[in-house]
Structure 1
Amino acid sequence: MLPATRRALTHRVAVGQAEGRTPSLVAAVVRDGRPVWTGSRSMIEGHAPAADTQYRIGSLTKTFVAVLVMRLRDEGRLELTDPVARHLPDTDGADGAVGVTIGQLLAHTSGLASETPGPWWERTPGALRPELADILGPDPAKHAPGRHYHYSNPGYALLGAVVEKLRGMPWGEVLATEVLRPLGMDRTTLLPQAPAAGGFAVHPWADVMVPETVQETGRMAPAGQLWSTAADLSRWAGFLAAGRDGVLSAGTVEEMRLPAAPPQAVDPDGGYGLGLQLLRRNGRQLVGHTGSMPGFLAALWVSVEDGTGALALANCTSGPAVSAVAADLLAITVEAEPVFPAAWRPAEDIDPTLLELAGPWYWGTSGFALRVRAGGELHLAPLTGQGRGSRFHVEPDGTWTGREGYYAGETLRVVRRGDGSLSHLDLGSFVFTREPYDPSAPVPGGFPGWH
């Protein structure tokens, strides 16, 4: 980092700590999966927390649980369309839980209640709710499944229980074995391990504070139990941007980053994927999550396009705007030191039949360009910048599947004539031809020709 960038980042942390009236605040900026800057400030001069100091991260825990669920999906152990009762028969009789799917739980579209029945789960021992029925209560359904985005902490308790059922061990052990150890995140734990920050409640109208009590949350732990550090979460930011072979593929992590819930009218710049919050800020699309538990606040955001992430952790129940701090740290970095694009280089080997597809195509009279990328991926985009476009990856049968936008999941087929010459492209029944309404291609409905 340039000195001016470092100073701007340090200043933002200082402002966040002072204005938020938090005992301490630690932050980091991540690029290409590694921390390039860390900073912190505390109320005691000279005793700022280190990047290895644990803080409770609250609902950032949900991103880890979602990865465990997606691993099971990729292994074929479950489908996102599965009713949760298929894997947790104990929920079958719960009013409102019938028909709720795994995918709806991940995206907070299940319609289940935001919180458990009393007492307040974040502040009471988890042993008070030993059964799943105790976290759902007699009336858990607040909306019809799949219709609305409605954040549900009990929903993630159910997902943790699904992981335990299918793996045959506690979800925390599964997380440590399958995710944390492979990623080198040995300072992310269910319970605090020294050095760890203490959590505090700061009086909203007076400069005094008292320690918060830390509770083990039992069945609700998948909703917000984890403790972590700036150093470990820097690794997590890198993972959420690119995946990691052996943990979760880049393609599946990309799927998690896509919107999976209807947008909220109250927050047009927000959204939710599969276990990941989405945020539009400073003209950038961010993915990540925020978190809060008594005595602690956390936020982590990643801009995949910029190859940059940022996080902020505070040991205060309320006050510091950690989400804004993390987003601002990311923006400061990207604007002061934009990432250099990778050097262009030609493909080492591309199938000649793919080169035959490159160039202009027409859907009726609308012009499109099809480009062949170095990795063998096809990219179809409108010539004028107006209209539908997508990337396509090849399937074993020689067809292509759209990866985003209108054509996500749709099949692109290359159609040839009997002599092997190229006729047209069929994209979900849309015919793309080499010329507008090409008379030599089977355009549906017929066309009299140009005159």
Structure 2
Amino acid sequence: MIRTLPVRRGAVAAIALGSALALAAPLRAEESLLQTNVEFSGTIAWLSTGAPAFVIAAVRNGETAFAGFGERAEGTGQAPEADTIMRIGSISKAFCGETLASMAAGGEVALTDRLQDRLDWDVTVPEMDGRPIRLIDLVTHAAGLPREVPRPEAPEDDPFATNTPEAQIAGLAADPLLFVPGTGASYSNWGFDLLGAALASTAGKPYADLLAERVLAPLGMNDTLFNPRPEDRDRLMQGHNFDGAPMPFAPTPVSIECAGGLYTTAADMMRWMQWHLDRPAAAEEEMRLIDHAAWLYRDGLVPAAGFDEGGGEMDALGLGWVVMMPEGNRPLILQKTGGLQGMFAYVALAPSRDMGVFVAINQFSTSGFSVMVKTALDLITTHSPR
């Protein structure tokens, strides 16, 4: 069942009361417990975030549930639906990690391959203390690279325009390493920019084509893309800045596709989560095993910076995933946050419990982000306790 609730904030008390009564009442025959709890949790979360709109989608044991709240874009009067298109920012990194897992499972790359050997650019990739940057270092934020590539400021309506291969080559040539690769972890968009370029170089095709071939097309994720199509205009969710002002739909250059370029829908995210949770499936089993493994544990890493905003401390890093070990009643979680152009998004998977949750709000808000993440983790803990 899919439900959208375009309600006004002036009716907060009535909404909360109505939702509580709905939860207390007997379930309707056609409505599952998962759908009921998604709607109830989503209502409370949306009212608490202060964002114009809120989206929540869950998958458990093959069942899906969705709810959308508020107004998709200012003046539309439309609540977000399961096919509403939104930016997911750095959740794109988990897709890029999955692409790497596919290539590793197929023997096309090894995780320990040097970046130097997989990047067809005319540049000498820096090393430190004799340690090269490897693909596994890039995907676990362990390469020693700064968070962003050094580049000139770009226009507000095209903020990524100056993130070019030329800027990245110049940055590498300037010997930017902050620590010995593999000895620490510090969140780096630049590392994923380079990973996307390396995978494209290895495959001999654009990263977008590689991602579509390995991940999106097999799952029928037809609305997951890097730049919306003209016909998508009436399905876009408008992002908002911290002050509530609408933010532009900035174009996505090739250079940031792996690190943070994707748009998607809740419907596509439910398809994606179902694939990740289908552990008994023989098809692509090795790819899934590689993708879900914890490759770099926090213990002994210096530094370990930029990974603790997603509902708890990072215990390990996977292929784009931040791994949280079981704690209390909460099972092991693979999670990833994303924030770009006025959108905050979060996905959490509990592979051992066959459950995943995706949530998004369309306004930058630190308190709203915390509510969003807690809602997702609480829903998993409620339905799939350890």
State the number of aligned residues: 330
Identity %: 26
In 2, are the aligned partners of 1:27 and 1:40 still within 8 Å (CA)?
A: yes
Q: Secondary structure of the equivalent of 2:95? A: helix
Q: 1:209 aligns with which of 238, 245, 251?
A: 245
* Partner residue of 1:100 out of 126, 129, 133: 133
Q: Which has the larger radius of gyration?
A: 1
Kept after mapping to 1: 8 A contact 2:146/2:176: yes
Distance (Å, rounded) in 2 between the aligned partners of 1:32 and 1:140? 46
Q: Say which SS state the counterpart of residue 182 (structure 1) adopts.
A: helix
- Distance in 1, Cα, partners of 2:69 & 2:124: 50
Aligned to 2:297: 262
Distance 1:34 1:172, change over 3 A: farther
1:90 to 121, 130, 139: 121
RMSD: 2.9
SS in 2 for 1:39: strand
What do the CA deviations read for 1:376-424 (whole angstroms, capped 9, x no partner)? xxxxxxxxxxxxxxxxxxxxxxxxxxxxxxxxxxxxxxxxxxxxxxxxx
Residues 54 and 196, structure 1, Cα contact 8 Å, conserved in 2: yes
Are 1:77 and 2:108 counterparts? Answer: yes
CA distance in 1, matches of 2:103, 2:365: 36
29 and 213 in structure 1: CA distance in 2 versus 1, 3 angstrom threshold = closer
TM-score, normalisation: structure 1: 0.66
Change (3 A) 1:137 1:213: farther
Is 1:14 matched with 2:43? yes
Secondary structure of 1:155's aligned partner: helix
CA-to-aligned-CA distance 1:270-318 (integer Å, 9 cap, x gap): 2311221212465211113111112111111111121111110222233
SS in 1 for 2:297: coil
Structure 1 residue identity aligned to 2:135: I
* Larger proportion of helix: 2
Which of 212, 227, 233 is 1:191 aligned to?
Answer: 227
Asked whether the equivalents of residues 230 and 313 of structure 1 are also in contact (C-alpha less than 8 Å), the reply is no
Equivalent position of 2:20 in the other structure: none
Name the counterpart of 2:86.
Answer: 55
CA distance in 1, matches of 2:344, 2:259: 14
Q: Do the aligned residues in 1 keep the contact of 2:105 with 2:286 (CA within 8 Å)?
A: no
Give how far 1:244 is off.
9.3
1: CA distance, partners of 2:197 / 2:355: 33
Match of residue 149 from structure 2:
116
Bigger fraction of residues in strand: 1
Three-state SS of the structure 1 residue aligned to 2:39 is: helix
Residue 356 of structure 2, aligned match among 272, 294, 309: 309
Per the normalisation by structure 2, the TM-score is: 0.76
Bigger relative CO (Cα 8 Å, ≥ 6 apart): 2
- 1:24 maps to 53
Residue 30 of structure 1 deviates from its aligned partner by: 0.2
Structure-1 residue corresponding to 2:187: 151
Secondary structure in structure 2 of the residue aligned to 1:16: helix
1:326 aligns with 2:376: yes
How far the C-alpha of 1:118 sits from its partner, in A, is: 3.6
Structure-2 separation of matches of 1:30 and 1:128: 36
CA contact (8 A) 2:339 2:345 kept: yes
The Cα shift of 1:89 comes to 4.8
Q: 1:219 aligns with which of 255, 276, 288?
A: 255
Question: In the TM superposition, what is the alpha-carbon distance from 1:120 to its structure 2 partner?
Answer: 6.1
Matched with 1:288 is 335
Following superposition, the deviation at residue 63 of structure 1 comes to 1.3
Change (3 A) 1:30 1:5: closer
1:96 CA displacement = 4.3
